[in-house]
Amino acid sequence: MIYKCRNCGANAIYSPEKQSMYCPYCDSVDCEELSPGQGMQMCGNCGAEINPGDYRSVVKCEACDSYIIFEERTTGEYEPHLIIPFKMGKKQAQELLKKEFGKRPFLPSDFLSESKLDKIEGMYVPYFMYDFDCDYMFRGTGHVVRRWRSGDYEYTETSNYRLERDMNINFEKVPVDASIAMADDIMDLLEPYSYELLQPFDTKYLSGFAAEKYNMSSSELEPRAIKKAKVDARTLMEQTLTRYSSVTDRQDNINFQTKADNYSLLPVWNYTYIYRGKPYPFKINGQTGKMSGKPPISIPKVIASGLTVFLSIAAIGGLWNLIMGVI
């Protein structure tokens, strides 16, 4: 499927800045959805060969720059329930990278070059967002210790309490990414997303971005979501135990019941910088701008500045001696 401009026939895309569909060539907002009978491997606009791999549900055609949406991968069992549309456009994402890393020392010189930053790609990442009903039973013994002095004596009083807690917690939309290519720890760092902007899914949001269908099933990912929710459940429980100096004989039993597993697409800007053959992935939350990723250190730059580094260490060493001397 492809979105076309009714005015000039070019590929219409979704604009995060305008929060609507528009044509980047003639600025018209009037577009239509076309489903030319394309095969999986062919661009519906120009006929060039395209390769969606195993999971891509939207691919940009290299020949004509159109965004081709694969209906087989966005409908039926692959139709997302919800989507957070991109709020941040490509320019804004590039500016964020420049702001974050512009003043970093030892960065490879082309890390923020226009040609490298141009390769930044907006992508909808598949997620399952679980609703859980959680029953949390906790038993234990709480101790409160009180000390005071009277005359020559010090007194200690320990009071013991039998603790019983039965909590019922409703978790809503605990997110877990369903993309094999996305490293879990990096994706977790992009949270939180603001759920007020969740929309019912509409294919128009996909035009202009890459997207993947889920590559792991909901039942495969459920244990990860439960693990995340458990951490929060335990934190909540601990908050009810803060008045005790210590808690012993701990026993707990946590049960999760899954009520929903909303299949959703969330917006991420991807920037992959290759340095000495090694990829350095950066991800930016396409809704909030939160970023994750670690840049490489340019070895030639560090060597070039060796003298300065040595001098500043010596200076700090000197300062340290001085302080010690005063003490």
Q: Which residues bind Zn ion (CB under 5 A)?
A: 5, 7-8, 10, 23, 25-26, 28, 43, 45-46, 48, 61, 63-64, 66
Residue 21 or 61 with smaller CB distance to Zn ion: 61
Distance of CA 258 to the CA centre of its chain: 23
Tokens of 309: 């580094």
Tell me how far, at minimum, the Cβ of 23 lies from Zn ion, in Å: 3
| Lookup result for tokens 């965004």 | 67
Residues 98-111 as b/e (b if ≥16 CB within 10 A, e otherwise) read eebbeeeeebbeeb
Give phi and psi for 227, each to the nearest 5: -60, -40
Residue 47 or 300 with smaller CB distance to Zn ion: 47
Residue 48 or 186 with smaller CB distance to Zn ion: 48
Give dist(CA 88, CA 96) in Å, integer.
10
Give phi and psi for 266, each to the nearest 5: -120, 145
Q: What is the largest CA-CA distance in the chain?
A: 95
Tell me how far, at minimum, the Cβ of 258 lies from Zn ion, in Å: 42
Tell me how far, at minimum, the Cβ of 47 lies from Zn ion, in Å: 7
Q: Helix (H, G, I), strand (E, B), or coil: what is residue 210?
A: strand
Tell me how far, at minimum, the Cβ of 126 lies from Zn ion, in Å: 25
Residue 60 or 283 with smaller CB distance to Zn ion: 60
Amino acid identity of 135?
A: D
Fill in the DSSP letter of residue 42.
B
Give dist(CA 203, CA 145) in Å, integer.
62
Residue 20 or 245 with smaller CB distance to Zn ion: 20
Tell me how far, at minimum, the Cβ of 266 lies from Zn ion, in Å: 27
Tell me how far, at minimum, the Cβ of 43 lies from Zn ion, in Å: 3
Residue 10 or 134 with smaller CB distance to Zn ion: 10
**In the chain, count of helices (H) and strands (E)?**
6, 14
